[in-house]
Homo-oligomer: A and B are copies of this chain.
Amino acid sequence: MRLSSHKDANHFAYPLDICAQMNSDYKVTKVFALPAAESDRMEEWGGTGKKFDRRKIHSGSEYHPDLQTERRETTTPYQVVQPDGPSFHIEGNLIRWEKWRLRVGFNYREGLTIHDVSYDGREVFYRLSLSEMFVPYGDSRSPYPRKAAFDLGNNGAGVNANNLQLGCDCLGSIKYFDAYHNTLSGEPLKLSNVVCCHEQDDGILWKHTNFRTNNAVVTRSRILVLQTVITVNNYEYIFAFHFNQAAEISYEVRATGIMSTNPIPIDAHVPSGTVVAPGVLAPFHQHLFSLRIDPSIDGQKNSLLVEESHALPFRDPTVHNPAGIGYTTTKRIIEHETALDTDVSTARTFKLINENILNAMSGTPIGYKLVPHYSQMLLAHPDSLHARRSEFGAHAVWVTRYHDCELYASGQHTMQSAGGEDGLASLIKSRDEGVRNEDIVLWHTFGTTHNPRVEEWPVMPTEKMMVSLKPVNFFERNPAMDVAISTQAANKSVLVDGSRCCGKA
C-alpha cells in the first residue's frame, strides 16, 4: 500500500495484511489473511481475525528524495579524472587491460559472465559466472514458508539488470556494454548499458622502505571493474568482477534496496524478524550465492588441492618440534566429484592446480586459490523443500567434472522445482566422475544470514561480500613488480592545509 500519492512512495512500507493467490491467468482465486502474531499457527492459509493497526505509520519509511525532510549538504563533489583516458582497450566484447585479456558475456539468466581470461598470455579461467542465488525466509508461520526466491533461475539476473546511468553507478571514465534479449514474439530486445566497465584506484598495491637508506618505493593499485546492478522486485544486487595488476580476481556482491516486509501489529514482536518501523516486520532470511568458477590453469586439465595448516605434534619423539612452535601443511588432492566445507580453524585453502606444470621457483604445481567468503550455510532442514531445491546451500565448495550446459547450481528449471534432479548434490550422486587432472568446475556457495537491522530501513546501506581468486605459485615472482612507481607528478594530489579546513568549519 502506498500512503502518499507520490508515485515513488515506498510500497513496501505499508504491507497489507492480506495475501492474494492467483492462477496462471493472473486471476485472483483466493484471498488470505496474514498472521498477526507469533502465536498464529495456521497449518492452512487463513485469517486469524486479529487486526493490524496503521496509526503509527510515519514518514521515516520513505526513501525517495522528494519525500525526505532532511538532506545533508556537507559532502563536497569528488571527481575522478583520467586526462589520457582509461587504460583499457575494448573491441566488441574483448577487453585488454594491463596484462589481462578477457571477454564479457551477458545472458537473460546469469547476467554478466566472464570468458577466456588470460594474464600475460597465460590462460587462467575459462568462464566465471554467478550460477544461482537463493533467498529463503525463516518465518515459519504460513504462508511465509513459501517465500523463497531463486533470483537467477526464477527471475533472471540478465532481464532484471538496470540500465546504468553515467555519473550515478560508476565514477570516472566509463564504458558501457549493451546486451540483447528477445521479446515474446522473438524480436531482438536491446538491454542498454547493462554492464559498466571502468578503472578504480585501490590504494597501495605494494610498498617497501629500505630502513638503511630510508628510500621508499610505493606503487598504487589500479583495478578494472566490470559491474552490473539488478533489481529483483524490492531488492538490489550489485555484482562486480575486479581484476588487479597482481593477477588477482575478486568478485564483489553488494546487497541493497528495500527489504521484503510483512505486516505486524503495533508493539508486537516475533522471534524470526525485526520490527523496523511501526507495523513493519522485516523477516529473517538468507542470501546464498553460487559462484561458478571454470578454471583453465594453463590448460583445461586441472585438479583441486585442499591444503590445511596444522601444528606439528609437540613432545612426540618422532617429530622435530622442540619448542612446540612448528607447523606445516597437509595436502589432499580431490579424486572424485564432491562437496567440501570451509574451515577457519585449519585455514583450509582450496587451490585449483595444474599438476602437469611445476613452478620453477617453488617446485610445486602452478595454481590459483579460492579466498572464500565465510558464510553460514542453509538453515532450512535437509528434508525441507527449500533444502531439496537448493542443494548447493548445504556446502561451501563443490567440485564437478565439466559437462556442457551444466551452468546452474540448482538445476536448469528452478520454478516450482521439487529438487532431486539436476542440483549439484543430485548430479554428483548420479555419477561418480573423476576430477583429478580433468576438465573441472568449482562452485563456491557463500552469502549472508540476514537478520535485519533497523538501520537497513527503508533502503539498506550496501552489505558487501567478497570472494577472491589469487595466483599461488603460478608466476615466478610478483607479477606486479613492473607497475609504475607512484608519483605526485602523475597523481596530482592536493595538500590540505589544516588551518584552511578549520576556517571552513
Contacts of A481 in B (CB 8 A): 63, 68, 458-459
Q: Given A384-B314, A488-B165 in contact, is the A142-B85 Cβ separation under 8 Å? A: no
Contacts of A459 in B (CB 8 A): 206-208, 217, 478, 481
Contacts of A218 in B (CB 8 A): 165, 168-169
Interface mask (A344-370 → B, CB under 8 Å = 1, otherwise 0): 111101000000000101111000000
Instruction: Name the segment of A17-25, A182-190, A305-313, A408-416 touching the other chain.
Output: A305-313
Is A84 interfacial (CB-CB < 8 Å)? yes
A216 and B222 CA atoms in complex are apart in Å by: 29
Q: Residue of B at shortest CB range from A346?
A: B376
Residues of A in contact (CB 8 Å), total: 188
A455 touches B475 (CB 8 A): yes
Contacts of A363 in B (CB 8 A): 267, 269, 275
| 18 new A-B contacts at CB < 8 Å, known A60-B476, A80-B81, A311-B381 | A64-B215, A65-B485, A77-B492, A78-B222, A167-B492, A171-B491, A175-B498, A204-B238, A310-B379, A324-B381, A324-B387, A327-B379, A329-B451, A344-B375, A349-B451, A361-B454, A361-B457, A461-B478
A221 touches B462 (CB 8 A): yes
Contacts of A166 in B (CB 8 A): 488, 493, 495
B323 touches A140 (CB 8 A): yes
B148 touches A206 (CB 8 A): no
> Which A residues from 399 to 447 make CB contacts under 8 A with B?
none
Is A236 interfacial (CB-CB < 8 Å)? yes
Pick the residue among B137, B140, B209 that contacts A231 (CB under 8 A): B209
Contacts of A502 in B (CB 8 A): 89-91
- A240 CB to closest chain B CB, in angstroms? 8
